[in-house]
Amino acid sequence: MKIAMWSGPRNLSTALMYSFAARGDCAVADEPFYAAYLAATGLDHPMRAEILVSQPTDPLQVAALCDGPIPHEQSHFYMKHMTHHMIASFPISWAREAVNVFLIRHPARVIASYAKKREGATLDDLGFQRQAELYDEIAGWGTRPIVIDSTDIRAAPAPMLQKLCAAIGLEFTPAMLHWPPGGHPSDGVWAAHWYGVAHRSSGFDTAEGPPPQLSGDYARLVEAALPYYQRLAAHKLG
């Protein structure tokens, strides 16, 4: 089975990748379209040069890898994708052969976390609009994608992962609740900048409090992103 997990940045996406890797029957891929996205857009991200040499920059080559055999002779393949990396010109037909899951998080939480690592974020950087667009496109193929909220996972990891596995068609295993600290061999090279908290973790963090109250440009960014989040949140596992 192939699982395409569509997330924005700072959505618990790395921890969830570690969770699936901890199953023991699941290969994982960390943001395989990142270098292709940077090459196509010319955007300047932290560690841009390192990212460009660490992955294929041809989106057709990346799509072929996503559509190809499951790595390491595993039974399942979990692909962590950033929605904003999947620009409109990139091929997505490979995802028809995957179970598509959308990982969401309240924009205020995302923006507050993202700002600690990279200032001046735009709506495009955060992937909310593209996430909604991809949800609509994939739903149009005939099977409504699964939606899960990272805040719900943190509030009740075992019950929510049980629901997620049931929706995907996998057997839940308690091994998904813990992983060795220090990262995973499949981490992208950008982990050195972004994954500090994830690398110190060995399981899901505690429940989150209320979303932070942001001001100025960040508050306006929350306002712009919120309708896209709310659209998908209406379909989330509960």
Residue 25, SS3? coil
Res. 116: pLDDT tops 90 = no
In a domain, 166, yes or no: yes
Q: Look at residue 141 and tell me if it is in a domain.
A: yes
Give the model's confidence band at 189: pLDDT under 50 very low, under 70 low, under 90 confident, else very high.
very high
**Alpha-helix runs per DSSP H in the chain:** 13-21, 34-41, 48-54, 59-67, 107-115, 123-126, 128-139, 150-155, 157-168, 191-194, 196-200, 216-233
Check residue 48 and give its pLDDT. 97
Q: What is the mean pLDDT of residues 217-235?
A: 96
Task: Tell me the per-residue pLDDT of 29-54, one tens digit each, with 9 for 90 and over.
Answer: 999 999 999 999 999 999 999 999 99
Instruction: Name 150's Cβ contacts closer than 8 Å, sequence gap at least 6.
Output: 11, 12, 13, 16, 103, 104, 105
> What's the pLDDT band for 121 if we cut at 50, 70, 90?
confident
Question: Tell me, what CATH number does 193's domain have?
Answer: 3.40.50
End-to-end CA distance of the chain: 24
Selection from 12, 3, 10, 31 nearest residue 101 by Cα: 3
- Give the integer Cα–Cα distance in Å for 185 and 191: 11
In this prediction, residues 157-175 reach a mean pLDDT of 98
Distance CA 161, CA 173 (A): 9
> Is 144 inside a domain boundary?
yes
Give pLDDT, residue 226: 97
**C-alpha separations of 11 from 39, 58, 64, 154 in Å:** 24, 26, 26, 11
Q: Report if residue 238 sits inside a domain.
A: no
Helices 216-233 and 107-115: crossing angle in degrees, nearest 10, is 140
Where does the pLDDT of residue 79 fall: very low under 50, low under 70, confident under 90, or very high at 90 and above?
A: very high
Burial class (CB in 10 A: 0-12, 13-18, 19+), 180: exposed
- Phi then psi dihedrals of residue 65, to 5 deg: -65, -40
In a 13 Å sphere around the CA of 236, the CA atoms on its Cβ side amount to: 21
In a domain, 112, yes or no: yes
Q: Looking at the predicted structure, is the pLDDT value of residue 238 above 90?
A: no
* Position 31 in a domain: yes
Q: How many Å apart are CA 208 and CA 211, to the nearest integer?
A: 8
Worst-scoring range by mean pLDDT, 61-65, 118-122, 173-177?
A: 118-122
Total tally of structural domains belonging to the chain: 1
Asked, for residue 12, whether it belongs to a domain, the answer is: yes
SS3 (DSSP) at 78: strand
Q: Is the pTM of this model over 0.85?
A: yes
Domain membership of residue 53 as a residue range? 2-233
Q: Are the C-beta atoms of 223 and 128 separated by less than 8 Å?
A: no
Q: What is the mean pLDDT of the chain?
A: 95
Q: Is residue 96 part of a domain?
A: yes
